[in-house]
């Protein structure tokens, strides 16, 4: 059985094999654990000149990646936490994102920057941030957030071979998610959302790990006679507006799920844009379910009620429809709130 992490590794392997200009580097890339298993054995297969470790100098190494990209390479830079990558915001925002525009499209920066984000297991306020809204706000940066293991490889390959910089965000609770979908090796276009469930009650739009919680919720709702559209965006920038608008015109109701903060966040942008474009079609106020506007605590006791989970999604859908919903089927399957499953023993 393939899983999310093995699909990421397979994507890197395929890119390295097919294109000698692809480079893979980052802190811990050649370590025995291989960044959650996503880079295992790649250095042994492709050598130290194409797959290598880097010092804790994020801004400098991002500058080197940009320079290499301008010189004809396709670097894939990996950060084991999104929080560490914040040291390289100057290079990402002032150089990588701008180059294509500043030189009239004559020069591009084809870099892919993988960042691991997530929550739980005592990661706390400096190791669990979901700042996709920051990156999506910058013109010139594409932002990819896969949710399903079956999408991870195709989205990563599209990111690596995109002519411009891509921020590739992986939720660490997804790395063990499995798939039995056939292996295709095909690229998934960036900006193309995926309709995972179809219904006419409510349009639910989600990204990354929130899609997994949403899948549990819509299946429980389906058992109670409520069918929802569930759209996994897959990319935060660009956004597949056409698919969201078509769904809202059908259901008249929108619920937006995001792993990030609420105020000035990505969920607010989706709600605002759909309100502008589909005002006459809405039959209820749009809803945002996100992280609250304060940082995640390290203590499990303080994070117990911090995150949005499937039962909250199902209950809110019921509220939008004026119906009582039983969430007992979800609660019966609940394990500890701050780990994805009993198999989880640590982030590395």
Whole-angstrom CA distances from 123 to 81, 108, 321, 339 are: 10, 36, 36, 11
SS3 for 196?
A: strand
CA dist 99 and 157 (Å) reads: 22
DSSP secondary structure, 157-195, as one string: HHHHTSSS-EEEEEEGGGTT-EE-SPP--PPPPTT--EE
- Confirm if 123 and 95 have CB atoms less than 8 A apart: no
List, by residue number, the catalytic residues. Answer: 58, 127
Sheet containing 112-117: order of strands: 51-52, 22-26, 74-79, 112-117, 166-171, 142-144, 235-237
CA dist 261 and 267 (Å) reads: 9
């Amino acid at each position: 059985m393939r899983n999310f992490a093995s699909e990421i590794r397979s994507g890197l392997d395929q890119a390295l094999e097919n294109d000698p200009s692809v480079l893979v580097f980052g802190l811990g890339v050649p370590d025995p654990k291989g960044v959650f298993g996503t880079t295992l054995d790649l250095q042994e297969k492709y050598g130290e000149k194409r797959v290598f470790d880097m010092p804790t100098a994020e801004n400098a190494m991002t500058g080197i990646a940009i320079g290499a990209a301008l010189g004809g390479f396709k670097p894939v830079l990996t950060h084991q936490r999104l929080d560490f990558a914040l040291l390289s915001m100057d290079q990402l925002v002032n150089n990588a994102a701008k180059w294509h525009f500043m030189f009239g499209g004559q020069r591009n920066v084809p870099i892919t920057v993988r960042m691991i984000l997530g929550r739980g297991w005592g990661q706390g306020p400096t190791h669990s941030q979901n700042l996709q809204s920051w990156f999506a706000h910058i013109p010139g940066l594409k932002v990819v957030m896969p949710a399903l293991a079956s999408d991870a490889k195709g989205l990563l390959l599209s990111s690596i071979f995109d002519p411009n910089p891509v921020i590739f965000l992986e939720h660490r609770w997804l790395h063990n998610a499995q798939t039995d979908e056939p292996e295709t090796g095909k690229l998934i276009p960036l900006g193309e959302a995926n309709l995972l469930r179809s219904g006419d009650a409510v349009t639910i739009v989600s990204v990354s790990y929130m899609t997994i919680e949403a899948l549990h919720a819509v299946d429980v709702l389906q058992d109670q006679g409520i069918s929802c559209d569930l759209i996994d965006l897959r990319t935060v920038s660009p956004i597949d507006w056409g698919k969201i608008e078509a769904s809202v015109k059908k259901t008249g109701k929108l619920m937006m799920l995001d792993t990030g903060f609420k105020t000035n966040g990505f969920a607010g942008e989706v709600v605002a844009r759909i309100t502008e474009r589909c005002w006459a079609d809405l039959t209820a106020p749009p809803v945002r379910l996100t992280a609250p506007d304060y940082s995640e605590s390290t203590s499990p006791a303080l994070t117990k009620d911090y995150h949005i989970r499937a039962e909250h999604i199902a209950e809110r859908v019921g509220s939008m429809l004026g119906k009582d919903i039983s969430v007992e089927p979800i609660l019966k399957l609940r394990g500890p709130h701050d780990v994805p499953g009993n198999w989880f023993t640590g982030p590395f």
